[in-house]
Each structure stands twice: as C-alpha cells, then as structure tokens.
Copies of this chain bind each other. A is one copy, B any other.
Amino acid sequence: MIVQMRTGASKQEIDGVVQRAKSLELDVQLNLGTDKTVVAILGSNTGQLSTDLFAVLPGVEQVTRIMKPYKLASREFKAEDSIVTVNGIEIGGKRVVVMAGPCAVESERQLTAAVKAVKEAGASLLRGGAFKPRTSPFAFQGLEDAGLALLLQARERFSMPVITEVVDPHDVEKVSKYADILQVGARNMQNYPLLTEIGKSKCPVVLKRGLSATVTEWLTAADYLLAGGNEHVILCERGVRTFEDSTRFSLDIGSIPVIKKFSHLPLIVDPSHAAGHYSLVPAMAKAVVAAGADGLLIEVHPNPKEALVDGLQSLTPSDFARLMKELRPIAEAVGRYI
C-alpha cells in the first residue's frame, strides 16, 4: 500500500503512519519526495487490508492499493489453470464446453424437447432454472421443487449433467443433490450468506459476474467460495450495466483476457442475457470463443414464442444447432474444439 502524505505533513503525522504499520506487523519504507512524503507499506497480506486503516490518519492525503484484494483466485496464488471436472467433462481444458437449455423449467414436455435438442446439437450440460429471481413480484417465479424434480428426471433419462440456480442459502444442500453445477446469479454475486453455504458444499459452482461488479470485485467474491473450501469455481461473464440500451447488458469481452491473465479459474460466458435478443446471440457467442473463453451458457427454448421467461433472447433448436456448427471452426482456429 502506498500512503501519500499531504504537502507539509508533520514528522509526527508521518510517524503515526509508521506506527500503525508496525502495529500491524508490516514493514515501511519512507520516500521523501521533493514535494510530498510517500510511505510504502510492505507485507504479503496488504491486499486484504482496508486502505482506510491508513487513510483515516492525520496528514494522509491518499492511500493507493498495490496488491490486489483477491488472493485465492489469483495467478500469483496458483499459476497453472484450474480445471473443474463435472461427470468427466473438463471445464477449463481444451474443449469449449457448451451449457444450454431454457431459462426456466416450465414443464416436462418443454424440458424434454429442450434437452433432446441441445444434446443432439452437441451441448455438454443442460441448463434450466427452477428458482427464478424475477424483478417483479407479479412475474412467474419458477416451478421451484417441481422444477428440480423435472431437471433430475431429464438428467437421468438423457445422461446429461445439469446446471441450475440457487438463490437461498438454506436451499444449497437440497439443490446440490439435484444439480451437477450450482449457479449463482448476477444479482447474488455479493450475497455472502449464499456464497458461504456454497463454499462449504464443495459442489461445482458457476459464479456469474454482478451487473456492476468490477473484475476485481468478482474475483474477490470467488475468494469467498475458495476460502470456504470449494475449489470447483467457474466464473461466468454475462454483461454489465452501462448507458447503452441497444443490448440488454454490455458484454465485457475484455474481461476474458483480463481474467485469463490474473486468475487461474475457468471462465465461461452467457451471451444470451447480455444480448437480450436472439438475433444478436450468435455473433456474441462467436466472439466469446475467439477471445478464449472456456465455455458458453446459452438459452435455448423449444418454442421461444411460448416461453414464460426471456423468450426474446432464447434460440430455437434449429438456430442453436446452426450456431454450434458455426462455432466449431472458430474453436479450431484458436486451438480448441467443441
């Protein structure tokens, strides 16, 4: 941490900073600049300390963090890529893993049609929501337990592992019995009681990026899961909130190389929620594969016109099959396969 003193800060004020550093068992180095004194605070855990510890002291103008606040998710903690294995499928390996299915589980018929379609087109996992966090209390909230039962049935009948969302910390144990991967939605990225429970569960988990979370905050949220003892963490970019309104969210394509540079965790991308319209999904999915993501999470509905949730951003089975065909040469062009 770099503590910049105000111009004209007194020796006593500088000593105050040094004393606090020592009380925290940190080393310091004084930089007596021509205009300002700058105190470098040195130690291996300075990323996890609050900058306020020093910023509140008299004579301090500004404190700048040098070490990143996340630790367990960083490449410095673990240099080689992590791979999360689910039913023999490696996420973070050479294969670009596609998870597809409807936004919400609506009925046995709908789910069966969806799983058949996405499996035939080459998806590796079935996605489908039983608990749907909805903006309005008057909207369809998911089939809940009945939805979980349908997912389990589809999973066994079609031998296809399942990813589904969990929203309440007290449902983690139950949902992890049905699901191969738990999904933490964007609005829950900083729901710490939920992260803590999932940390304990050891069930593989996809952690979606919050609507307005920086990459740094997202990796720090991943630290919650990792610190709890769950190493099976997969990140999922799904677009952030900006001023632009021609797409539902702005897909932060730059987060792909940034995450790959600073973290060892596997990263998938959900282009459906970012796009908000089926016609924009294929171009964004292709970009994601070309940029080096480890997988895709795509909404596919057997009949989007009748979907109860997010029909507009869902691909039809035939559009999805065409997209899968188009993605394969792109994956090969970047040294991978689908």
Contacts and interface: CB of A to CB of B under 8 A. Distances in A.
A174 interface: no
A56 B311 contact: yes
Main secondary structure of the interface of A (DSSP, over half): mixed
A31 B35 contact: no
Contacts of A34: 27, 42-44
A269 to B, nearest CB: 10
Interface in A291-332: 291-292, 304-305, 307, 309-312, 326, 329-330, 332
Interface stretch (A105-113, A119-127, A248-256): A248-256
A48 B227 contact: no
A131 to B, nearest CB: 9
B289 A290 contact: yes
Interface residues of A, number: 110
A29 B29 contact: yes
Given A27-B33, A35-B44, A250-B254, 19 more contacts: A29-B29, A29-B31, A48-B139, A52-B311, A52-B312, A56-B307, A64-B66, A135-B221, A170-B170, A239-B254, A240-B244, A241-B243, A243-B243, A244-B254, A251-B252, A257-B275, A286-B290, A286-B291, A332-B333
Interface of A: 2, 4, 7, 27, 29, 31, 33-36, 38, 40, 42-45, 48, 50-53, 55-57, 62, 64, 66-67, 69-71, 76, 133-139, 141, 167-170, 187-188, 190-193, 211-212, 214-217, 220-221, 223-224, 227-228, 239-247, 250-258, 260-262, 274-275, 279-280, 282-284, 286-292, 304-305, 307, 309-312, 326, 329-330, 332-334
